[in-house]
Amino acid sequence: MAQLKITLRKSAAHRLPEQRKMVKEFGLNRVNSSVIKPDDAATHGVIFKLAHLVTVEEIKD
């Protein structure tokens, strides 16, 4: 199964509380921090909401 590397490129400060909460729950603490998540529907939903703050790369096994 493919995985996604999600990197926070813009700060979540001064964003909607829902967006700040999603960034924190995703494990992104600072700008340029990255996490690796599975490529599933839940991850795509969060990426859709945070598309203006993050970049996404696909990691193939």
Residue 25 sits in a domain whose CATH number is 3.30.1390.20
Domain of residue 45: give its range. 3-59
> Could you give the number of structural domains in the chain?
1
Per-residue pLDDT in tens (0 to 9) along the chain, 61 residues? 799 999 999 999 999 999 999 999 999 999 999 999 999 999 999 999 999 999 999 998 7
What pLDDT does residue 3 have? 96
What pLDDT does residue 35 have? 97
- 3 to each of 14, 33, 58, how far by Cα in Å? 29, 16, 6
Spatial separation of the C-alpha atoms in residues 57 and 55, rounded to whole Å:
7
pTM summary value: 0.90
